[in-house]
Amino acid sequence: MPEEINAITGGAVTSDQAAPSADYGAKDIQVLEGLEAVRKRPGMYIGDQGSRGLHHLVYEVVDNSIDEALAGFCDKVDVTIHPDGSVSVRDNGRGIPTEYHPGAGKSAAEVVLTVLHAGGKFDKGAYQVSGGLHGVGVSVVNALSSWLELNIKRDGGEFVQRYERGIPVSELTRAGDSDEHGTTVRFMADDEIFSTTEYLPDILKGRLRELAFLNPGVTITFTDTRPDPSEEEEEEEEEGRPPQVKSFHYEGGIRSFVEYLNRGKETAFKPPLRIQGARDRTTVEVALQYNDSYIERVFAFANLINTVEGGTHVSGFRTALTRAINDEARRAKLLKEKDANLSGDDLKEGLTVVISVKLMEPQFEGQTKTKLGNGDVKGIVDSIVYEGLKVAFEETPEILKPIVDKAMRARQAREAARKARDLVRRGSAMNKLDLPGKLADCSNRDPSECELYIVEGDSAGGSAKQGRDRGFQAILPLRGKILNVEKARLDKILSNDVVRTIIQALGCGLGDDYDPSRLRYHKIFLMADADVDGAHIRTLLLTLFYRHMPQIIENGHLFVAQPPLYRVQEGKKVEYCYSEKDLKDTTARMDPKRTSVQRYKGLGEMNPGQLWETTMDPENRIILKVRVEDAILADELFGILMGDAVEPRREFIENHAREVRNLDI
């Protein structure tokens, strides 16, 4: 079958993959192994037993529905969080097969729910391409739920079954007749397994929106029927708020995805370029657009899995982009003979791109198994994207000049950044130079045992220096506001005194120069006042780390210190409270007549002993580990909160204002 390239207008992609059969039955379900280890070692199957693993349960069930959509048999998926905290996922696919499975001695549906790696995806008969990172499916969800209810509609009937902690407590029975088709799975995450069973709507909506972009034509609806906690606290009427419903449907696919990522920004051309093609049973789709920011945004997917560590498909895209732009810029005389070719780094600034490949046997590698390793994919993506870009530049030549002009300016800025970076290196904290931030270092030289507290203000820094354990804790007080790096090029970032102080103290460099072996502290704490200014400084610092030293977050080195909000004293008894609810519970246990409450407005109000006891002592302190649950959502939030566009920020504040607690104005 011939290869197809469609640069701009889009259209169906042809492929030489055989179409999956609509005759999907028990014969398509293959049994590979059982479920015995899932409850003993949940982290092996869903990542962890905290919030990330909890949300992964939902993704596993949704992925089954999306597989039906990929096969062409489903165009609606409904995800609902119920008032009791359970979640249901309903689709209008073919429905899990219900007939007797001859090899297992039970219904095919029960096999899917109770046997690990059982399903219709292993011989590629029922499904040609399937999503889901681990491929463990609904059986693991079943094993890690206190209960699960299955409802299947197919073959003119409606079939139901209930499980408790992975064990069927009823047979799969026919509950009645139905002319509909599809599967509904409703489950309650087991609180014996998970440290939290509280779903975060923004996390779920982010993934569902992502899947809707990647599957144009599919409508995914998210409904949250839980009561609003703020309404409970305010004792509002019993009916509470109406269900929160959000529907995701994007006929424009990943082109709409790029437009969504670039909303509120000035773009070099409209609409985004879209390139697609197929070769060797691999389909490739790319959408890209340049904006006026200094940040590159690359989101790559393989079989709908967000490959946050990149891989061969990203490498192929970068090679094609650099080659095509240089070739066409030379042909159009936008690059003169004396000009050097633009590099891949020159072309990163302001680039937003979504890359989606679908292939038969994806190979994942990397620290989190989210890096595509199929070697042949690089050449396929390179070829399809190169040819697609050439067609795009020939048909719309006016889009090339702004890309080349932006890349030339980026090249000049990179040279300035190189000089600034050299100055930072020469002023490295490793050389024990007198730093502008007055780093108070620790005596230990083993990075794995050392901590750095980045502290807001000289007053708090003084308390921290006196209260710390000098053996392993270093203090870096900040003077003045740190630059908002979301709005600045690298040369300007490196010329900012506060940023340079932080880089010198850490010793590991940033951006392309980041070297993990030179990181001097393996625990880095952001410690700021519990007020609006403190929150702003914390956000500015988080933006620096997320945009220019993301490896520090990825490797688990970044934390947020949690100083107390209140000191409550009854006679000689002293307790510290970290929230309004904590204060309410604490004072309720005490005699009001003998109780005094001190509200800490800033870290500097605590003496060194109090700061050590509450915030720095490893035995007592409360800390938050910074990690990225959803890369696309994180990128979106940093863009909204720290970018130039005012309207998205206003909309975000209006939508989330009621969720704010402990706000001092």
CATH number, position 365:
3.30.230.10
Q: Of 327, 533, 582, 629, which is the active-site residue?
A: 533
Does 12 map to a domain?
no
CA–CA separation, 85 and 65 (whole Å): 21
Residue 181's pLDDT is 97
Helix (H) or strand (E) holding 647: helix 646-656
Q: Within this chain, do residues 314 and 383 fall inside the same structural domain, yes or no? A: yes
Does 16 map to a domain?
no
Phi first, then psi: what are they for 224, rounded to 5°? -115, 110
CA–CA separation, 627 and 558 (whole Å): 8
Q: What CATH code is carried by the domain that includes residue 214?
A: 3.30.565.10
CB atoms within 10 A of CB 414: 20
Q: Within this chain, do residues 98 and 245 fall inside the same structural domain, yes or no? A: yes
Helix (H) or strand (E) holding 574: strand 573-577
CA–CA separation, 80 and 224 (whole Å): 6
Q: What contacts 215, CB < 8 A, 6 or more positions away?
A: 66, 69, 70, 253, 304
Residue 438's pLDDT is 81
**Residue (of 589, 535, 598, 596) closest to 564 by Cα position:** 598
Is 376 noted as a catalytic residue in this protein? no
CA–CA separation, 381 and 385 (whole Å): 6
Does 139 map to a domain?
yes
Digit-coded pLDDT (tens) for 554-591: 999 999 999 999 999 998 899 999 888 899 999 999 98
Does 1 map to a domain?
no
Q: Within this chain, do residues 296 and 237 fall inside the same structural domain, yes or no? A: no
3-state helix, strand, coil in the chain (%, to 5): 40, 20, 40
Is 346 noted as a catalytic residue in this protein? no
Identify the domain containing residue 232 by its residue range: 31-250
Q: Of 78, 456, 635, 636, which is the active-site residue?
A: 456
Q: Of 67, 346, 529, 635, which is the active-site residue?
A: 529
**Residue (of 601, 619, 606, 609) closest to 565 by Cα position:** 601
Q: Within this chain, do residues 328 and 395 fall inside the same structural domain, yes or no? A: yes
Residues of the chain below pLDDT 50: 1-16, 122, 133-135, 231-238, 429-434, 436, 665
Q: Within this chain, do residues 211 and 339 fall inside the same structural domain, yes or no? A: no
Q: Within this chain, do residues 558 and 594 fall inside the same structural domain, yes or no? A: no
Digit-coded pLDDT (tens) for 402-413: 999 999 999 998
Is 67 noted as a catalytic residue in this protein? no
The domain boundary residue, chosen from 198, 230, 250: 250
Residue 568's pLDDT is 95
Q: Within this chain, do residues 582 and 555 fall inside the same structural domain, yes or no? A: no
Is 531 noted as a catalytic residue in this protein? yes
Q: What single-letter DSSP state applies at residue 660?
A: -
Strands 451-456 and 473-478 come out as parallel
Q: Within this chain, do residues 180 and 126 fall inside the same structural domain, yes or no? A: yes
Retrieve residue 129's tokens.
Answer: 């391409």
Q: Within this chain, do residues 385 and 293 fall inside the same structural domain, yes or no? A: yes
* CA 371-374-381 angle, 5° bins: 95
Q: Within this chain, do residues 450 and 528 fall inside the same structural domain, yes or no? A: yes
Q: Within this chain, do residues 286 and 371 fall inside the same structural domain, yes or no? A: yes
Q: Within this chain, do residues 574 and 623 fall inside the same structural domain, yes or no? A: no
How many domains does the chain contain in total? Answer: 4
Residue 459's pLDDT is 85
Residue 306's pLDDT is 92
